[in-house]
Amino acid sequence: MHLQTNGVVMKFKGLTALDGVDIDISKGEIVGLIGPNGSGKTTLLNVISGVFVPNSGRFRMGDREWSSVSLREAACLGIRRTFQNIRLFPSFTVLETVEVAAAWLDRGDRRENALRALDELNFRQHCGRIASELSYGMQRRLEIARAIAGKLEFLLIDEPTAGLNHAESQELVEVIQAIRERRGCGIVLIDHDLHVIMNVCDRVIVLAEGKVIACGTPQEVRRDPLVINAYLGS
Ligand code: ADP
Ligand code: MG
């Protein structure tokens, strides 16, 4: 199964943040999404996951096609995400945080889905802890646990290693790879750390000024003169 965008345009007042974006992600692959600051990476995740309604363009997953969805509809389709800036309910416990997400999707047993997601991140022993009292690195992992509770076809992850040290980043990368292995989902990974992207991703998509300027294996993208000019050179 594929998740595709076709000609997606997203404008904010005078600014065109996405300028006709076509991408195609298969289930089972990890695709890196890179580009300079302000190139539209987060906005692309926002339109795919139903945070914003784009000005134009279409989306397709399997035999479904749409021009806009709500955040909840996207989640129910199995399109799940994390946020660049952590968004947790501060006073909820770890288990409550993940259970709420599982309940929101209204499918299956919410407790069972929440515990399964927490087990996947080796988090079960922290079930009773309060979200806001966790370390920053653990909050990042909790966000991922919340995003994988229940149905998961495609996981969109926005800068998961921001603010983490090298060891914590490495651990998170292993968590992401394990999710792909276990669930067979497709993953779109935005990260500033090019070592992370180049090591983990099967393919890389490069955005600049709201347009896809390159797409290929990490080796291909690294050699692409457009990419070197727009991104790696700077
Ligand atoms: P990236 O994630 O690649 O750094 P973003 O997708 O966050 O880039 O932003 C792309 C452009 O869209 C930027 O110029 C940003 O200022 C603008 N933008 C993003 N979100 C909004 C918003 N909610 N309102 C107005 N402008 C926005
Ligand atoms: Mg961003």
User: Which residue's alpha carbon is nearest to atom 19 within ligand 1?
Assistant: 43
* Integer Cα distance of 5 and 131 in angstroms: 34
**Which residues keep their CB under 5 angstroms from ion ligand 2?**
41-42, 84
From 42, 52, 85, 192, mutation site for ligand 1 pocket: most ligand atoms within 8 A of C-beta: 42
Q: How far is the CA of 35 from the centre of ligand 2 (A)?
A: 9
Q: How far is the CA of 190 from the centre of ligand 2 (A)?
A: 8
Q: Name the residue ranges covered by the structural domains of the chain.
A: 2-78+152-232, 87-151
Tell me which residues have their CB closer than 6 angstroms to ligand 1.
12, 15, 17, 35, 37-43
pLDDT confidence of residue 233: 57
Residues above pLDDT 70, as percent of the chain: 97
User: Which residue's alpha carbon is nearest to atom 17 within ligand 1?
Assistant: 17
Q: How far is the CA of 38 from the centre of ligand 2 (A)?
A: 7
User: Which residue's alpha carbon is nearest to atom 13 within ligand 1?
Assistant: 38
The answer to whether the beta carbons of residues 11 and 53 sit under 8 Å apart is no
Cβ atoms < 10 Å from Cβ of 73: 13
Q: How far is the CA of 17 from the centre of ligand 1 (A)?
A: 6
| Matching CATH number, 2-78+152-232, of 3.40.50.9100, 3.60.15.10, 3.40.50.300, 3.40.50.1820 | 3.40.50.300
Residue 161's pLDDT band, with cuts at 50, 70 and 90, is: very high
User: Which residue's alpha carbon is nearest to atom 8 within ligand 1?
Assistant: 38
Does residue 234 have a pLDDT over 70?
no
pLDDT confidence of residue 106: 66
Does residue 69 have a pLDDT over 90?
yes
The answer to whether the beta carbons of residues 135 and 60 sit under 8 Å apart is no
Does residue 149 have a pLDDT over 80?
yes
- The encoded tokens of residue 151 equal 């149905």
Q: How far is the CA of 40 from the centre of ligand 1 (A)?
A: 6
Tell me, yes or no, if the pTM score tops 0.75. yes
**E-strand stretches of 27-144:** 30-34, 56-61, 64-66, 79-81
Question: In the chain, how long is the greatest CA-to-CA distance?
Answer: 51
Q: Which residues of 85-101 are buried (b: 16+ CB within 10 A; e: fewer)?
A: eeebeeebbbbbbbbeb
Q: Which ligand is nearest to the CA of 12?
A: 1
Q: What tens digit of pLDDT does each residue of 175-216 get?
A: 999 999 999 999 999 998 888 999 999 999 999 999 999 999
Residue matched to tokens 């991140």: 121
